[in-house]
């Protein structure tokens, strides 16, 4: 078992990483003194892990309700958040209740947002079951829902009480979901840790087969990097912006395709390669480094370019509405080399189009 601490003063919390951690959920929740619990999940995940979570919480003396929402990014909207809130009110949850997010990034985001709203804020615990959620979205307190105008446009910064990662849940994960998580790990390598990128490049076969030691390393290292960044800049006023590498283009692709064609990690993979090409166009990065990023992305079976036929002008329009944009001025996180990035604004639309068209 490994532990990583997110240091945020009175709101600090632990990320506990290891196999079989789900069975210790109740024991690890007891010290917080929650009055009641509600597990928020989707039917697919709950069918596999729901009983174990309920049993563990029940063994610790917590009465627990369950709220299930459909599986998929398209259901991460305010209507389903409202449904969660309505169920909590119907079952008379109070301010000492805790929500347990059992699932991937969609479940974690919407659960955290509901927790931030219910009675002006109650506790929640992240139990991420996808690789993407374990290495990225469960850590850092970004919660929210999507809007037709863009991804995560409605949300809050709201930290969990605990992140409990059971790496054995990855064994039941569809391969496509595993690959999406690898995209976020590659992101950490490009923005902050060349050694992690080297590891991903070198141990690709082991990681694709979920070899235990390799997976344990990338999960812990990713959590360490994100914890360090979040501890320094919780609300994305500076350093934390580097975590958006690949996400400016990625979110635009998700929005343009109505969250129906690409999973989040796939869109981010396209965004990372597009950002690397843009960095080359601007003279920030060597062509061979950008090609190396593209090669490793493709080695993990991830898409590396904007698909032909995509409306590039529409993508740029979505990027102008991105949360990070100011007065329509698109902000990019661009690599200078593997392991270091910089924030760039004021890029001409013609240069952006050239990079997106590959």
Q: Are residues 225 and 350 in the same domain?
A: yes
| 318 among known catalytic residues | no
What is the Cα–Cα distance from 212 to 220, expressed in whole angstroms? 12
| 226 among known catalytic residues | yes
What is the Cα–Cα distance from 97 to 118, expressed in whole angstroms? 10
Chosen domain end from 172, 192, 217:
172
| 11 among known catalytic residues | no
| 184 among known catalytic residues | yes
* Domain encompassing residue 48: 2-172
CB of 252 closer than 8 Å to CB of 319: yes
| Phi, psi (rounded to 5 degrees) for 340 | -150, 135
List 184, 256, 266, 281, catalytic entry: 184
List 236, 254, 256, 281, catalytic entry: 236
Chosen domain end from 157, 172, 187:
172
Q: Are residues 223 and 267 in the same domain?
A: yes
Helix (H) or strand (E) holding 3: strand 2-6
324: its two tokens: 């990070």
| 202 among known catalytic residues | no
Q: Are residues 189 and 284 in the same domain?
A: yes
Q: What is the domain-level CATH number for residue 135?
A: 3.40.50.1970
| 287 among known catalytic residues | no
List 10, 90, 92, 120, catalytic entry: 120
List 161, 187, 192, 247, catalytic entry: 247
Query: Strands (DSSP E) along 7-106, which ranges?
Result: 13-18, 37-41, 64-68, 98-103
Under DSSP, the state recorded for 21 is G
Chosen domain end from 155, 172, 189:
172
What is the Cα–Cα distance from 295 to 272, expressed in whole angstroms? 12
| 264 among known catalytic residues | yes
Q: Are residues 16 and 85 in the same domain?
A: yes
| 251 among known catalytic residues | yes
- Distances 194 to 137, 242, 268 between C-alpha atoms, Å: 21, 15, 19
Q: Are residues 350 and 322 in the same domain?
A: yes
List 76, 240, 277, 331, catalytic entry: 240
Helix (H) or strand (E) holding 7: none
pLDDT per residue of the chain (358 residues) written in tens, 0 to 9: 899 999 999 999 999 999 999 999 999 999 999 999 999 999 999 999 999 999 999 999 999 999 999 999 999 999 999 999 999 999 999 999 999 999 999 999 999 999 999 999 999 999 999 999 999 999 999 999 999 888 889 999 999 999 999 999 999 999 999 999 999 999 999 999 999 999 999 999 999 999 999 999 999 999 999 999 999 989 887 888 999 999 999 999 999 999 889 999 999 999 999 999 999 999 999 999 999 999 999 999 999 999 988 999 999 999 998 877 777 789 999 999 999 999 999 999 999 999 998 7
Q: Are residues 184 and 323 in the same domain?
A: yes
Give me the number of domains the chain comprises. 2
| 353 among known catalytic residues | no
Q: Are residues 260 and 285 in the same domain?
A: yes
What is the Cα–Cα distance from 244 to 250, expressed in whole angstroms? 9
Q: Are residues 218 and 338 in the same domain?
A: yes
List 36, 93, 151, 264, catalytic entry: 264
List 36, 142, 220, 221, catalytic entry: 142
DSSP 187-230: HHHHHH-HHHHHHHHHTHHHHHTT-HHHHHHHHHHHHHHHHHHH
List 36, 187, 220, 226, catalytic entry: 226
Q: Are residues 142 and 236 in the same domain?
A: no
Q: Are residues 329 and 265 in the same domain?
A: yes
Q: Are residues 19 and 107 in the same domain?
A: yes
Q: Are residues 57 and 96 in the same domain?
A: yes
Residue whose pair of structure tokens reads 């080695």 in the numeric block: 299
DSSP 102-170: EESHHHHHHHHHHHHHGGG--EEEEEE-SHHIIIIITSS-EEEEEETTEEEEEEEE---SEEEEEGGGG
List 151, 161, 187, 251, catalytic entry: 251
């Amino acid at each position: 078992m490994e532990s990583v601490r997110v240091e945020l003063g009175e709101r600090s919390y632990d990320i506990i990483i290891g196999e079989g951690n789900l069975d210790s959920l109740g024991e690890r929740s007891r010290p917080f003194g929650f009055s009641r619990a509600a597990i928020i999940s989707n039917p697919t995940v709950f069918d596999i892990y729901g009983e174990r979570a309920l049993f563990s919480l029940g063994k610790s003396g917590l009465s627990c309700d369950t709220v299930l929402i459909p599986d998929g990014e398209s259901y991460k909207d305010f209507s389903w958040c409202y449904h969660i809130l309505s169920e909590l009110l119907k079952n008379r949850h109070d301010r000492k209740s805790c929500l347990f997010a059992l699932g991937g990034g969609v479940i974690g985001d919407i659960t955290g947002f509901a927790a931030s709203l219910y009675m002006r804020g109650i506790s929640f615990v992240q139990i991420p079951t996808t690789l993407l959620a374990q290495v990225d979205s469960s850590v850092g307190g970004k919660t929210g829902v999507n809007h037709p105008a863009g991804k995560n446009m409605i949300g809050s910064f709201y930290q969990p009480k605990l992140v409990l990662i059971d790496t054995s849940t990855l064994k039941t994960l569809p391969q496509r979901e595993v690959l999406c998580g690898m995209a976020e790990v590659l992101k950490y390598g490009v923005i902050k840790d060349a050694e992690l990128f080297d590891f991903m490049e070198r141990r690709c076969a082991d990681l694709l087969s979920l070899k235990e030691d390799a997976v344990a390393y990338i999960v812990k290292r990713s959590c360490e990097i994100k914890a360090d960044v979040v501890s320094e800049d919780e609300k994305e006023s500076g350093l934390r912006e580097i975590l958006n590498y690949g996400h400016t283009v990625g979110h635009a692709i998700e929005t343009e395709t109505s969250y129906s064609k690409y999973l989040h990690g796939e869109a981010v993979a396209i965004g990372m390669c597009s950002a690397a090409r843009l960095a080359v166009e601007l003279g920030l990065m060597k062509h061979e480094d950008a090609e190396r990023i593209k090669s490793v992305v493709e080695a993990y079976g991830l898409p590396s370019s904007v698909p032909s036929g995509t409306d590039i002008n529409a993508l740029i329009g979505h990027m102008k509405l991105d949360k990070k944009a100011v007065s329509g001025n698109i902000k990019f996180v661009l690599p200078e080399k593997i392991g270091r990035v910089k924030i760039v604004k004021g890029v001409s639309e013609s240069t952006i189009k050239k990079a997106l068209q590959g």
